[in-house]
Amino acid sequence: MLHLLASHASVRKYKDEPISDETLHDLIRAAQHAATSHFVQAYSIVDVTDQDKRDKLAELSRNPVQIIGAARALVFCADLKRLDYAAKKHGKTIEAGTTENFMVSVIDTALLAQNFVIAAESKGYGICYIGGVRNNPEPISELLGLPDHVIPLFGLTLGVPDEANEVKPRLPVEAILHTNEYDEVKYEQILSEYDDVIRAYYANRSTNNKSGGWTEGMADYLSKPRRAYMMDFVKSKGFLQK
C-alpha cells in the first residue's frame, strides 16, 4: 500500500477506453468514507460528459489535451449549498460565509479527492489534478450551473494510463516534519541538498529536461502574481464574507 502511494505520478495521456458509471460510482462511494468535519460532507463532484461542455472546460482550464482525452473529466467543488438546503428544511439558516466554513469545505473536498485518487490508482487507473479550473472559475461556474456557496476547487481527469511518468523526488521528510517546535533554521542545509537532488532529477529524466533546483523553480513561479482575482471570485459566491 505504501508502495502504491509512493508510485504516484500524474497521468496526462490516456487510452481510448471508457470507464463505466458503475466503476465511477464505486470509486466515489469508497472515497466518501474520508473523514469529514462534523459529518458535513461539504463537497460535490460534477462529471462533465457532454462533448461541448468538455471542450469548453478544456479551453477555460487551459488543459485541452488531457481533459478532452480522458475517460472522465470531473470537477471537485467545495459545497455549502446542500447544507443551506438542509438548514432551510428545518427553518434555519447557516453561516456559510465564515472563513471557518470556507476552510472546512475546502479541506473536506480535498480529503474526498485524495481518497478518490487512491481508489482509482489501486484499480490501475491514472489521474491528474487540474488546478487550471481556477484559471477561469467564474465562467466554469456558469458552464456547470454552480449556485452560490459552491465553487470549483480543481478538476480531476481519470482514465486508463497511456504513459508512465517518473515519480518526482519529494522534499526529505526532515524538511516538512518538525518536532515540538517549528524549525526554520534547518532549511538552509536541507533545501540546498534537495536542490541538488532536483537538479539531478530534471537533468536525467527521460522527457522535459530542464535545469535549476527546487528553490529556484519556486522563486520563479511564486514571485509572479497568480490568479489575483481569486478573493473577489470566492467572495462573489458567498464564501469568505467574514
User: Rule CB under 8 A: which of 172-211 touch its own copies?
Assistant: 173, 175-182, 184, 187, 191
Q: Which helix (H) or strand (E) holds 45?
A: strand 43-47
Residues 31-50 that bind its own copies (CB under 8 A): 31-35, 37-41, 43-50
Alpha carbon separation from 178 to 18, 33, 162, 175, 184 (Å, rounded): 44, 29, 39, 8, 9
Residue of 170, 200, 205, 210 interacting with its own copies (CB under 8 A): 170
Compute how many residues bind its own copies; rule: CB under 8 A.
Answer: 114
The Cα–Cα gap between 22 and 120 comes to 13
Q: Which is nearer to its own copies, 15 or 178 (CB)?
A: 178
CA dihedral 153, 159, 165, 168 (to 10 degrees): 30
Q: Is 20 exposed, middle or buried (0-12, 13-18, 19+ CB in 10 A)?
A: exposed
- Least distance (Å) from its own copies to the CB of residue 231? 4
Residues 211-240 that bind its own copies (CB under 8 A): 214-228, 230-231, 234, 240
Q: x/- contact string, 13-32, with its own copies (CB under 8 A)?
A: -----------xxxxxxxxx
Residue of 6, 204, 206, 211 interacting with its own copies (CB under 8 A): 6
Q: Is 64 in the site for its own copies (CB under 8 A)?
A: no
Residues 83-112 that bind its own copies (CB under 8 A): 83, 85-87, 89-95, 98-101, 103-104, 106-107, 110-111
- Least distance (Å) from its own copies to the CB of residue 191? 6
Q: Which of 8, 135, 124, 131 is nearest to 71 (CA)?
A: 124
Residues contacting residue 95 through CB under 8 Å, at least 6 positions apart: 101
Q: Which is nearer to its own copies, 40 or 160 (CB)?
A: 40
Phi, psi of 156 (to 5 degrees): -150, 120
C-alpha cell recorded at residue 83: 447544507
Q: x/- contact string, 128-147, with its own copies (CB under 8 A)?
A: xx-x--x---------xxxx
Residue of 60, 119, 133, 158 interacting with its own copies (CB under 8 A): 119
Q: Which is nearer to its own copies, 33 or 205 (CB)?
A: 33
Sequence length of the chain is 242
The Cα–Cα gap between 148 and 241 comes to 13
